[in-house]
């Protein structure tokens, strides 16, 4: 995969429509945010941990944020979050859950597993642009990412 320079945000989302909307909203912020998209949890974890076809790459060190949907093929967003928090190299990596679910149990589970934030996808276009634009700007340009020491 050709990796361009810029701020790197990893989005794991299986809905084509939602992926396109998210990508468009992030591009609109014009903050040189480089978005990497996966539609499957296993592939996303291989990428984050430099396994299989990503072997030899210290990928997670360049990431500023991981955005996870909950309902995903093969592994759920919660499985990915759990794995990220279990591993020493990624346990402090900012993770935002981006989902359609307003279910309190999902919110509680997300925070219990160590999500930094939980965002519900708006239904209409303008709201989506504004919310995702705010999310991308906040985590890329306002938040200070953790260092490993």
Partner 1 sequence: MEKDDAIEVLLVEDNPDDTELTTHALTEGNKTIRLLHLKDGVEALNFIYAKKTYENQKIQNDLKLVLLDLKLPRLDGLEVLRKIKEDERTATLPVVILTSSREKRDIAEAYKLGVNSYVVKPVGFDNYVKTISSLAFYWCLVNEKPV
Interface residue list for partner 1 (CB under 8 A): 92, 94, 102, 104, 107-108, 111-112, 114, 116-120, 131, 134-135, 137-139, 141-144, 146-149
Cβ closer to partner 1: 1 or 102? Answer: 102
Cβ closer to partner 1: 15 or 31? Answer: 31
- Residue 86 beta carbon to partner 1: minimum distance, rounded to whole angstroms: 14
- Residue 141 beta carbon to partner 1: minimum distance, rounded to whole angstroms: 8
Cβ closer to partner 1: 32 or 148? Answer: 148
Is the alpha carbon torsion for 145, 102, 21, 123 positive or negative?
A: negative
- Residue 134 beta carbon to partner 1: minimum distance, rounded to whole angstroms: 5
Distance in angstroms (rounded) separating the CA atoms of residues 125 and 104: 24
Cβ closer to partner 1: 2 or 144? Answer: 144
Residue pair 133/29 in contact (Cβ under 8 Å)? The answer is: yes
- Residue 78 beta carbon to partner 1: minimum distance, rounded to whole angstroms: 15
Cβ closer to partner 1: 42 or 107? Answer: 107
- Residue 76 beta carbon to partner 1: minimum distance, rounded to whole angstroms: 18
């Amino acid at each position: 995969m050709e990796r361009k320079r810029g701020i790197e945000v990893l989005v794991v989302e299986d809905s084509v429509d939602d992926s396109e909307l998210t990508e468009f909203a992030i591009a609109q912020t014009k903050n040189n945010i480089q978005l990497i998209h996966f539609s499957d949890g296993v592939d996303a974890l291989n990428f984050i941990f430099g396994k299989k076809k990503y072997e030899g790459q210290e990928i997670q060190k360049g990431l500023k944020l991981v955005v996870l949907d909950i309902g995903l093929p093969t592994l759920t967003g919660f499985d990915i979050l759990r794995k990220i928090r279990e591993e020493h190299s990624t346990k402090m990596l900012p993770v935002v859950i981006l989902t359609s679910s307003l279910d309190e149990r999902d919110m509680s589970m997300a925070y219990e597993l160590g999500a930094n934030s939980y965002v519900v996808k708006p239904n209409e276009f303008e709201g989506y642009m504004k919310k995702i634009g705010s999310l991308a700007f906040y985590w890329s340009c306002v938040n200070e990412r953790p260092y490993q020491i």
